């Protein structure tokens, strides 16, 4: 099953391309002293793990795990903040690479994509050849690795991709799908969460084979008609969902996978210090604005999230007159939203800033303002971005953050 070349008549032409420990790989690729060591990309003591190297994963560290637990599991790990500008740039470069193979590319997130290569087999001998071509270019151009699963459906390709990790290729031919799927634990199926798995186990379903042979009416009674029909199709590898590419429209609308860009942080200790909160809002505003500029996007709406010591969470948003990617505009709006809450000695646990209503910057016409300076904050942001790309993420920072350990 693994490494078979296949032939042009095989229906296994869907690739699931997944970057290996993407946030970690990009963040440490220029730090060879960290290669081979347990590394965690994530927040502070009360934050969560965004990504972990395979060395850290062997200690039990997983994405979305609280940092306190990750430190207990892997006390020797090196903890780093995410290098968002580099991550966004590398993701965009991988997407462009895939589009050079075929227009049938659906980005699921910054680090994974589905690719239908049926139309590319005029230039490549087989889907495996396409996968090896992609892996070689990602390695050579981005200096990171990726794994590729190949199958006749998206769900089978994704499961094959898990078996390929790290840095490999696994192909499931169309005539081997049932043999591949049925020995698997039912929890491995795409979309089966912990609660769904518990419900299925109550019916005696523990493997995909058990699910496949459960009478469909009984399955539908247990999980509902829609979910039951979907799970039955997954168990037999007959789900028909295809790749849906999302090209940028002429009007400059953002792709559906780019609905919003957000950044949030949990304070080391709950605080009612307004100055400290505003400083953290600046850090979050700078992060989301920088990521928007890297992706060529501007936002119509700025949203603020505040979580208090009792875990009560408030969200407020404001739609701007003109879409923006300017840090000072985002920060000023976030601070105005925070002030409007009218907090008095209320201890804050977490703050976050999110950009919504995204659209392509090249589809927006800037309004000229009579008497405005020739060069303003937007130019300063772009100059800062250039300096960061050349000299590193700490090269340029707002003055109020100079004493902080992290941007």
Task: Return the SS3 of 158.
Answer: helix
143/278 same-domain check: no
222/358 same-domain check: no
Query: Tokens representing 39?
Result: 């590394």
Is 60 exceeded by the pLDDT of residue 250? no
pLDDT, position 82: 85
194-211 pLDDT, tens digit each:
888 888 998 899 999 999
Is 90 exceeded by the pLDDT of residue 60? yes
Where is the domain boundary, 103, 123, 148? 148
Answer whether the bond into residue 166 is a cis peptide, omega within 30°: yes
Rounded mean pLDDT of the chain?
84
Is 80 exceeded by the pLDDT of residue 46? no
140-162 pLDDT, tens digit each:
999 999 999 999 999 999 999 99
Query: Tokens representing 101?
Result: 């193979």
Partner residues linked to 17 by β-bridges: 113, 148
198/137 same-domain check: no
230/267 same-domain check: no
Is 0.75 surpassed by the pTM of this model? no
- Determine if residue 18 is labeled as part of a ligand binding site: yes
359/295 same-domain check: yes
Q: Provide the residue range defining the domain that includes 264.
A: 256-401
Query: Tokens representing 144?
Result: 């990171």
Tally of CB atoms within 10 A around 386 = 12
Task: Return the SS3 of 40.
Answer: strand
For position 75, which CATH number holds?
3.40.1170.60
Is 60 exceeded by the pLDDT of residue 255? no
- Determine if residue 111 is labeled as part of a ligand binding site: yes
Taking the C-alpha atoms of residue 261 and residue 276, their distance in angstroms, rounded to an integer, is 23
Q: How many domains does the chain have?
A: 3
In a domain, 377, yes or no: yes
Of 86, 112, 258, 280, catalytic: 112
In terms of pLDDT, which residue wins out, 96 or 396? 96
298/358 same-domain check: yes
Taking the C-alpha atoms of residue 113 and residue 88, their distance in angstroms, rounded to an integer, is 14
Taking the C-alpha atoms of residue 125 and residue 318, their distance in angstroms, rounded to an integer, is 53
pLDDT-wise least confident of 6-15, 173-182, 194-203, 369-378: 369-378
In a domain, 113, yes or no: yes
pLDDT, position 45: 66
294/203 same-domain check: no
232/261 same-domain check: no
How would residue 334 be classed by pLDDT, with cut points 50, 70 and 90? Answer: very high
202-248 pLDDT, tens digit each:
889 999 999 999 999 998 888 888 888 989 999 999 887 778 775 43
In a domain, 34, yes or no: yes
Taking the C-alpha atoms of residue 230 and residue 116, their distance in angstroms, rounded to an integer, is 21
Is 70 exceeded by the pLDDT of residue 317? yes
In a domain, 133, yes or no: yes
Q: Which residue has the tokens 């429209």?
A: 249
Q: How far is CA 395 from the centre of its chain?
A: 25
112 in catalytic set: yes
For position 315, which CATH number holds?
3.30.1490.100
pLDDT, position 227: 86
Neighbouring residues of 38: CB distance < 8 A, sequence distance ≥ 6: 52, 53, 55, 56, 58, 59, 61, 74, 76, 77, 78
380-406 pLDDT, tens digit each:
666 666 655 555 554 455 655 555 544
Query: Tokens representing 227?
Result: 């979910």
DSSP secondary structure of 84-96: HHHHHHHHHHHHH
How would residue 374 be classed by pLDDT, with cut points 50, 70 and 90? Answer: very low
Instruction: Extract long-range pairs of 272-278: CB within 8 Å, 24+ residues apart.
Output: 272/343, 272/345, 272/346, 272/347, 272/348, 277/338, 277/348, 277/351, 278/335, 278/338
In a domain, 177, yes or no: no
């Amino acid at each position: 099953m693994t490494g078979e070349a296949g032939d042009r008549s095989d229906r296994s032409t869907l690739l699931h391309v997944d970057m290996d420990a993407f946030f970690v790989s990009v963040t440490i690729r220029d730090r060879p002293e960290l290669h081979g060591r347990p590394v965690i990309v994530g927040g502070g003591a009360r934050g969560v793990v965004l990504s972990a190297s395979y060395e850290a994963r062997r200690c039990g560290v997983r994405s979305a795990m609280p940092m306190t637990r990750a430190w207990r599991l892997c006390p020797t790990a090196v903890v780093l903040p995410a290098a968002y500008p580099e991550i966004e740039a590398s993701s965009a470069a991988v997407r462009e690479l895939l589009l050079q193979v075929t227009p049938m590319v659906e980005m699921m997130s910054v680090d994974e994509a589905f690719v239908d290569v049926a139309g590319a087999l005029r230039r490549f001998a087989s889907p495996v050849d396409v996968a090896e071509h992609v892996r070689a270019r990602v390695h050579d151009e981005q200096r990171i690795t990726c794994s590729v699963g190949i199958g006749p459906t998206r769900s089978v390709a994704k499961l094959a991709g898990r078996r390929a990790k790290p840095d490999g290729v696994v192909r499931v031919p169309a005539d081997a799908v049932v043999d591949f799927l049925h020995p698997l634990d039912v929890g491995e199926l795409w979309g089966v969460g912990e609660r769904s798995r518990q419900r299925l186990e109550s019916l005696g379903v523990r493997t995909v084979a058990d699910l496949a042979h459960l009478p469909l009416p009984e399955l539908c009674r247990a999980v509902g008609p829609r979910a039951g029909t979907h799970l039955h199709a997954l168990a037999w590898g007959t789900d028909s969902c295809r790749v849906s590419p999302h090209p940028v429209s002429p009007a400059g609308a953002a792709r559906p996978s780019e609905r919003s860009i957000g950044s949030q942080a949990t304070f080391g200790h709950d605080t009612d210090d307004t100055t400290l909160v505003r400083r953290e809002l600046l850090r979050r505003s700078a992060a989301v604005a920088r990521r928007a500029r890297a992706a060529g996007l501007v936002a119509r709406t700025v949203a603020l999230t505040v979580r208090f010591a009792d875990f009560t969470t408030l969200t407020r948003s404001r739609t701007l007159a003109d879409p923006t990617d300017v840090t000072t505009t985002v920060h000023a709006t976030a601070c105005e939203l925070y002030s409007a809450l009218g907090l008095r000695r209320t201890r804050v646990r977490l703050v976050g800033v999110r950009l919504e209503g995204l659209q392509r910057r090249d589809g927006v016409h800037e309004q000229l303002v009579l008497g405005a300076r020739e060069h303003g904050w937007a130019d300063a942001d772009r100059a800062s971005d250039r300096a960061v790309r050349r000299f590193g993420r700490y090269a340029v920072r707002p003055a109020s953050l100079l004493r902080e350990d992290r941007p």
